[in-house]
Amino acid sequence: MWHKSMTEQFRNTFSPADWWVHPAGPKNLITDVPGVTVGHYTHNNGDTARTGVTAILPHDGDLFDRPVHAASAVLNGFGKSAGLVQLDELGEIETPIILTNTFGVGDCSKALTKRAIRLNPEIGRKMPTVNPLVLECNDGVVNDMQAFHVTEEMVNLAIDRAGTDFDQGTVGAGTGMKTFGFAGGIGSASRRVKTADNTKYHLGALVLSNFGQKSELRVFGKKLSAFNPVVPDAKDKGSIIIVLATDAPLDSRQLGRICKRTGAALGRLGSYWGHQSGDIAVAFSTANSHSRSGQTLYNATRLSESCMNDFLHATVEAVEEAVLNAMWFGRAHPGYTGKTLPELSAFLDQAAAPRG
């Protein structure tokens, strides 16, 4: 877990061991959910580009033929994502989930559409159209978005590179993102949930984190200013995209319930969902996925509502830790205007150093 690599003083100050309730999965990544994979394409050319693409695949098959149950929650609607309307109408995801910057949504949508057509040549003709799901945050602090760096090829490369191990921080779509004033965009964490009948499930979170006011940041319940009172201020604006995955048999309504709980995680970290912040959560279940083969009925199971509490709690923990991971693994990159976002790890090391 991310806090194992933190300084001793920081660990002792914030006591993370006393903060989490649910155990993490073996990798503490969204890919602890069986079948889920993640891939990045990072575009950092040392000049104007600090951006990229991150792909999340619910399974390795044809998602248009075998979609997964899903839901979303728009906590704060300042965003330009594609695909959320149909997702909520049908309760399904039928393409890989692509994360990128605000101006990259169009090219990413086109790449997903073309990829689906290659697998299903009658899409848009004898078959229904496909609903590409692309979610975005604004990385314009260090990336020149007007250069339109993101391409269709980057989307395909990110999908083709997807696996169960992946980097966090300033990589892929998170390359140019800012979180509570620090560098860091991609973060992930997972939790294991055991129901009353001893059935074990996984719940994982991946965030594209680009939000927060530094002076309001809370780590394990304590303000960062309690650890280092010299904390410059800035307004809470930006965005966060939260993707949740589980192998528990949750239907779209239940997945919508866990999406809404992500707001509690942002509040624990110190966010108030500021103006010009697009805070969006998407959740899917790998259970009960079925082929669109024309069958009238399909068999499915569903988790009892009496078991939901642990999943709601695990969601808050996984999202909170995923955001902290995004900052912990973030690395400073000078932007196209010369501005550099600082590293949380370096900030903490400096704060922990003895003062003369």
CA distance 63 to 114: 13
Active site residue 277: yes
CA distance 95 to 66: 10
* CA-angle at 26, arms to 24 and 31, nearest 5°: 90
Burial of 302 (0-12, 13-18, 19+ CB in 10 A): middle
Q: At what angle do helices 105-119 and 152-160 cross, to 10 degrees?
A: 60
Distance of CA 40 to the CA centre of its chain: 13
CA distance 57 to 37: 5
Annotated active-site residue in 277, 285, 289, 345: 277
Contact 224, 218 (CB under 8 A): yes
Annotated active-site residue in 188, 279, 285, 345: 279
DSSP 129: P
Contact 205, 134 (CB under 8 A): no
CA distance 326 to 338: 22
CA distance 318 to 1: 11
Annotated active-site residue in 72, 188, 209, 239: 239
Contact 315, 261 (CB under 8 A): yes
Beta bridge partners of 222: 219
Contact 114, 314 (CB under 8 A): no
Active site residue 349: no
- Which residues are the active-site residues? 239, 277, 279
